[in-house]
A = this chain, B = another copy of it.
């Protein structure tokens, strides 16, 4: 049974008024939960994602525990790449590692279109299994072309993204071909997740904050825009998230998403001025606040709610839940958000 169209999360993504501010947490499913650690085992995360029953259970755990307003699929941004055989692993404590990084035009031949039903049937089974049990919307997701490209080119996460930027400036034609191919991967994956029952999608451009506004505009925005345009016919709100993207918020809003994610560095009222009217904001409690005493948590949640301003604000952290977070604190955050009396409600 699909979630009701008047679910607070979906209404808010569309800037329609709701009785409460909806809340969910990036990485709400994962290491901070004892029930996750109990079922997860020690295997590779890509193996866990390949087991629909396990991945569905992990996806559902935080919804049961916290009563959050949305679930997010337990998956990884490199799943489509791994599925088409590019050769990528996820190493604990390191993140994605590409054995033979993308170096030049010839490597374009190592990319092929994703056939979701054939290449990632387990993802779609997980989506269907989750939706069958869920009473709130499920958010599907994919990695954005720049961020995925940076793993392909650097071989692993890189603070400077210097090899990535070198390729984009040195062989711009290959760069755009690569980003278009990665945009197609993301688009195919996201469309298949929605077809299987996801109610919304989030595009993670975690490393975009490494770019200046000019470089973002020239080298990244076109492919990103294609993804959101390619989702426009679906009845699923589109969320666009990056870290350290304060200078890019206006450009990211222009890429076509309905919701722009904001990290904790930019107060939401300042973010709203940059994003412009007509968009919903998602964020932006500093995840490290959840390690602080409860009076600090309460004060910081109140500040985010106030800056969020009501309609058009999905409460979230500014980045993922830190592994050492006490679930009891997140439980309290959900209570605080749901108890908030909206000034415009």
On A, residues with C-beta under 8 Å from B are 159-162, 165-166, 169-170, 209, 211-215, 244, 246-247, 264-267, 270, 286-289, 291-293, 296, 303, 322, 324
Contacts and interface: CB of A to CB of B under 8 A. Distances in A.
A244 B210 CA distance: 9
Contacts of A289: 165, 169
A227 to B, nearest CB: 23
Contacts of A247: 246, 265-266, 270
A322 B161 CA distance: 11
Interface of A, secondary structure class, is helix
B265 A322 contact: no
A303 B267 CA distance: 29
A210 B296 CA distance: 18
A25 B265 CA distance: 27
B166 A291 contact: yes
A212 B286 contact: yes
Contact of A212 (B162, B212, B264, B324): B264
A267 B270 CA distance: 18
A293 B324 CA distance: 44
Given A169-B292, A293-B170, A287 B162 contact: yes
A254 to B, nearest CB: 17
A54 to B, nearest CB: 27
A4 to B, nearest CB: 35
Given A160-B288, A244-B244, A288-B160, A267 B166 contact: no
Nearest to A286: B212
Contact of A169 (B160, B293, B322): B293
7 contacts: A162-B288, A162-B322, A162-B324, A165-B291, A169-B292, A209-B244, A215-B286
A247 B209 CA distance: 13
Contacts of A165: 286, 288-289, 291-292
